[in-house]
A and B are shown apart, each in its own frame.
Chain A
Amino acid sequence: MADASVSPKDSFHLSQLIYDSRYRSLTIQTVAMMLLMLGIGWLVYNTTVNLAALGKDISFAYLWTTAGYDINQQLIPYTSQDTHARAALLGILNTLLIAVLGCLLATIIGVFAGVLRLSKNWVVSGLMTVYVEGFRNIPLLIWILIIFAVMTEGMPQPRDFRPDENGVAEASMILWNTVAVTNRGVFVPRPVWGDTAWVLGIVLALSIVAIFAVRSWARKRQEATGEQVPVLLIGIALFVLPTVLAYFVLGRPVTFDSPVLGGFNFQGGTQLRNSFIAIWLALSLYTGAFIAENVRGGILAISKGQSEAAFSLGLRPNRTMQLVILPQALRVIIPPLISQYLNLTKNSSLAIAVGYMDVRSTLGGISINQTGRELEGMLLLGLFYLIASLLISSVMNVYNSRVKLKER
């Protein structure tokens, strides 16, 4: 210590870089940085050398050549004569479909299970505990395979729906002959939009605007007079009645194309393939279990005093949950929810296990395999997941900052 006062400048030793606390962190950082650069440099160099040794170049031109393979689930038109780029786009859309539907269903399941797990009724809370623990502690891949196996092995084949000589069929459609559950997927009616169907859309949009108007009017009224309006009932009525009325007034502009058995399979309607159902349900149930825990944790984080205060003001338990607990709990729930959404989106690449044609299967699977462009395909695939994740987290962060405690 005493040395420090004796002018250190004229006696600078190399060893000071390590032993002198003024320089040490700088030294460590410099060395770490150099090692990192060296590591990256080595990776890049090694890749180029090895690719050259294999006689391979890096080129993305293959994206514009004919893909040559077919894709079963098509959100936009596609034939085997289209390019690899379009096949990749189809895969991206299929991934996004699973991500969006999965996040929606997982949130619904998670919120219900999380709230119900806190129920005073031990049967309900016990069931929810079983659900949460069962799904959290068994790998996702196994759930995907279980659901897929149940669908393919347990459900009847399309030809079982065909009546035999005596007019009896082994299996029959459900819900008034509109839905067929088969081992190739679930066939549901597909809406066919008539010429005037757009009017219905406008009516529905107007109803929604009206619902918001009623809600804010009701809130103002309650603040002014203390009287409550049954907003929920009015809301439901507003949502359903005008559209249904318009539907009949316009002479049913929307019809439903139900699946019918023909040839090898059901024709018409929309086919929800087994691969889609398996990956969708498994992802939702699995992620839902984690969300349920976030929700439960969020609710428990709100001090008991809050609900006691609400009860003493005469609020019933439901309203307490709705008006006092949940709005505060959301602040705790949302940040981990973002990472659950990210997990779900990335986990959707497990679709490979059941042959769901997501972006991993097209861009990162068949296209790579048919063209030999492993590095390019994997880079693009990584880029896609990166962008998707960044988008999801930025959207959720915007929402998070809106529900955050407003500090004034």
Chain B
Amino acid sequence: MNKTILLGALTVAGLAAGAAAAGTMDDVKARGSLKCGVSTGLAGFSAPNANGVWEGFDVAVCRAVAAAVLGDPMAVEFVTTTGQTRFTALASGEIDMLARNSTWTFSRDTDLNLDFVGVNYYDGQGFMVPKALGVSSAKELDGATVCIQTGTTTELNLADFFRVNNISYEPVPIETNAEAQQQYLAGACDVYTTDASGLAATRATFEKAGDHTILPEIISKEPLGPVVRHGDNDWGDIVRWSLHALVAAEEYGVTSANVMELAAAPTDNPEINRLLGTEGELGAMIGLDKEWAVRAISAGGNYGEIFEKNIGEATPIGLARGLNAQWTDGGLLYAPPFR
């Protein structure tokens, strides 16, 4: 009799464990909201605005996915993660997806059992210093005290850069961008190093942004993108193609302003028709309805709109498209065909 209880308990435990690993889409639908892991606050990428509503370039990816799956871009529960907690939060199922300036690397994709579904920002690691230091190249930083966020690719690149160039430094490990900013401004470190986009975003919030300069060296490749758990490929497909939909929309000139009009009736561009569901059954292939991409694009606009609104040249962060331009404009953005 006791054996039956034991076996029963084990079976239940096993079933529960199995259920947690697959079927993220069903979980999200049942819950009615998407749990999206974001940073603890990085202007332009993910930060709550004055009304407490999360906004930013990474946040927009979460909203597009929520719109595609749940029909409501606001049905997102944002979970803040630090560099150290983000992958554990994802692996443990605390979040459904991660959009937090996370670099796609070999070991994260394989050994950590995660799946990077694409790249929403092609970046590289840079250095920011106060102009008063009179430094013009990262190679002049011998003996400098450097603030770094722990648990990032940043700290590994930094160690490599200084070792290869045979110069020394004093690392100051820090948990979040906000703390790093405070330490840097207090002069507790000479240099702040992280992804160049993060530096620009951080600098934009400074009172005297002009007193700080970003050094010319970019010491690494940092393709940043949304991440899901390895093993739930259906869910991975949804996040991957939501991102592609935003990129493709920009390529074909579908914007938040004209998407409704274009989706009303088939146009003479079949690619747009398949994307917006007026032709073919693409939505059904990923378990969604026909209008999934229409909703994703309406949520915050296409990739270009999201970029310009949050981090583009008109914003205080002022990032140029650079590598993040469409392939047709000499950039790296290249959405696979929708067919």
Interface residues of A (CB under 8 A from B): 34, 38, 41-42, 45-46, 49-50, 53-56, 68-72, 79-81, 152-153, 157, 159, 183-184, 262-265, 267, 274, 352, 355, 357, 361, 365-366, 368-372, 374
Contact = CB atoms under 8 A, between A and B. Distances in A.
B17 A183 contact: no
Nearest to B162: A70
B186 A54 contact: no
B150 interface: yes
A34 B169 CA distance: 57
Given A81-B163, A369-B150, A370-B151, A355 B172 contact: yes
A34 B2 contact: yes
Contact of B156 (A50, A54, A69): A69
B314 interface: no
A54 B229 contact: yes
A316 to B, nearest CB: 51
A287 B164 CA distance: 44
A72 B172 contact: yes
Interface string B76-91: 0000000110011001
A65 to B, nearest CB: 10
Interface string B154-184: 0110111011000001111111000000010
A370 B151 CA distance: 6
B28 to A, nearest CB: 18
A358 B229 CA distance: 30
A58 B150 CA distance: 24
Contacts of A38: 5-6, 9
B187 interface: yes
A59 to B, nearest CB: 11
B113 A183 contact: no
A276 to B, nearest CB: 12
A79 B188 contact: no
A372 B84 CA distance: 10
B207 interface: no
Contacts of A352: 175
B179 to A, nearest CB: 8
A53 B151 contact: no
B88 A49 contact: no
A79 B151 contact: no
A368 B187 CA distance: 30
A94 to B, nearest CB: 12
A70 B171 contact: yes
B6 A72 contact: no
B87 A372 contact: yes
B313 to A, nearest CB: 33
B6 A265 contact: no
- B169, B173, B229: most-surrounded residue (chain A CB, <10 A): B173
A105 B156 CA distance: 36
Nearest to B191: A264
B287 interface: no
Interface string B183-216: 1001111100000000000000000000000000
A92 B52 CA distance: 42
A152 to B, nearest CB: 5
Given A49-B17, A69-B155, A372-B112, A184 B188 contact: yes
A369 B156 CA distance: 12
Contact of A53 (B17, B170, B186): B17
A54 B231 contact: yes
Nearest to A37: B6
- A68, A152, A352, A369: most-surrounded residue (chain B CB, <10 A): A369
A369 B83 contact: yes
B13 A42 contact: yes
A264 B91 contact: no
A355 B186 contact: no
Contacts of B145: 184, 264-265
B150 A355 contact: yes
Contact of B143 (A157, A267, A366, A372): A267
B26 interface: no
B162 to A, nearest CB: 8
A69 B144 CA distance: 17
Interface in B94-128: 107-108, 111-113
Contact of A49 (B14, B83, B162, B171): B14
A366 B144 contact: no
Given A45-B10, A80-B160, A369-B84, A72 B171 contact: yes
A355 B175 contact: yes
Contact of B188 (A68, A70, A274, A371): A274
B178 to A, nearest CB: 14
B284 interface: no
A265 B156 CA distance: 23
The 4 closest A-B pairs by CB, nearest first: A80-B159, A369-B151, A53-B21, A372-B112
B142 interface: yes
Given A72-B170, A264-B145, A152 B186 contact: yes
A56 B113 contact: yes
Given A41-B6, A53-B17, A70-B158, A183 B84 contact: no
Contacts of A79: 163
